[in-house]
Amino acid sequence: MPLVTTIPRSLQNGDVLTQFTDSTSTSSVMYSFFTQQTSLVIENSGEHDIFVTVGSYTNQVIKADKKWKVETSFISFSIRSDVNSQEFIATAVYKEVQDFSAVNAKFDAVDAKLESTTTQLAEKASGGVFRFTEGTPGSTDGLEAINTKLGYKGNAIASGIRGSHVQQGSKGNENVIGSSDKTTIGTTTPNVVDDSKTWNAHYAEVGGYDNINNALAGLLHAFHCYIDEQATHGAIYGGSFHEITDGDYAAIMGGTKNIIEYLNGGSYSFVGAGSTNKIFARMSAILGGMNNRVGSQAANKEYSGIYHSYLSTIDGNYATVLGGNECKATKDYSLARGKGAVANNVGENVFSTGKFKTAGDSGQSTMHLFRQTTDGIMAQLTLDDANTTITALGINTSLTVKALISAIRVDTAGDSASFEVVAHIYRGASGTPILNAFSVTPIYKSNAGYNVDVITTASGYQVRCQGVIGQTINWTGKLENVWSRNV
């Protein structure tokens, strides 16, 4: 039998008021006071009936969200319910002179204070402050992974989801988990859940306003944003109007109107601030800038990045645009920087500070060349270990070529060589490029059979090397290009 130990409060007329909050049990619990009380108010703030016994009243029923008051002398009362943990508020008044008209006046004052509590509880019950629902049982967490909802009462979590959380939001800008219609984002049409579909958006979280998060373990704290169910473990923090539409483990932070999408598994890509940037590649990044793109849908590009750039694109793997204004890195391992720089060869490092008419019509670049020879036949130096050749020369192009080439024999020690090549190549509006002039300067060669040259092809040019039959020779070159085009 609990003894009420709440510290009483003295009223102006000398009466003493004691008030406390507790929850019920299915077994009757009796509460006792140090002194005899003269009035009792019980407020039922639970969802089920509770039963009170005091004085001559036995099992007095108090409905959910209702209160009952009685004027009677008592030193204890008991309370129970058919369902455990029904919250109630008890208020007892002790009055030395049994003037119940005065007690009623005091109860009126108490009622005013209880009315505020009643309003808050009503708002709580209607979903305006805090709600929770039991989640659907999982493999290990059973019903313990509850869903929680804070803020606007229109925030929602679709049925069948467990362990998820929504907060904030507002009318017409609801935060929801499990919605089949993202077209409502950014409009006055409410965001709503789709309870007809089975969602896997467990342990997801949404804050801010006007967001939809359908991803397993997705985290979204921003404004007017969307994470698709195909983008599990994705995250959007800050900014507005972002989307992660496919690809696991992707993230966007800050900025506006950025998009990540990778159709073939995990994305692991990142956009940091900026505006209207798009990543369609995995293991890639865009930092700042505006109107940039890495990869294209279903192209399966990877490990590339654009940094503080504008209107720049990447279509290669392991490619980079750095501080670019309308730059393009179209091939693997390529780098474009400056203004209007276009890298169209594997491993090409292009720089430009402007254009005449179109991006790429003025520029300079360096490329890495290499090849291994084992015979005495002239062979083209290529751009990588996959024997990728130099890209065809564009029309209406004047090109200056310079190459530094080193060679070393590797099947036995001793032989080596070094060359410098300079050439000018022109290609008009059509036809084969013309080799107007070239020179090859042997800086050093230990074997007279080692040579290099430059030739043109149907649409481009080659820098070639010649070894000696029966010798294994590794050739490495640095190729520099400077061009001007009329396109």
State the pTM of this model.
0.73
Under 8 Å between Cβ of 180 and 192: no
CATH number of 130-360: 2.160.10.20
Does position 139 have pLDDT exceeding 60, yes or no? no
Pick from 338, 319, 454, 477: which is nearest to 405 by CA?
A: 477
- Judged by average pLDDT, the poorest of 10-24, 58-72, 76-90, 270-284 is 10-24
What is the C-alpha to C-alpha distance for residues 12 and 19, in angstroms, rounded to an integer?
Answer: 16
- The top-level CATH class assigned to 363-485 is mainly beta
Domain regions of the chain by residue span = 9-126, 130-360, 363-485
Q: Give CA–CA dist 355/192, Å, rounded.
A: 50
d(CA 380, CA 366): 17
CATH class of 9-126: mainly beta
| pLDDT (tens digit per residue) in 242-274 | 999 999 999 999 999 999 999 988 999 999 999
Q: Under a CB-based contact definition with an 8 Å cutoff, are residues 250 and 262 in contact?
A: yes
pLDDT in tens, 68-120: 999 999 999 999 999 888 898 888 888 754 444 554 665 566 666 656 555 55
pLDDT greater than 60 at residue 153:
yes
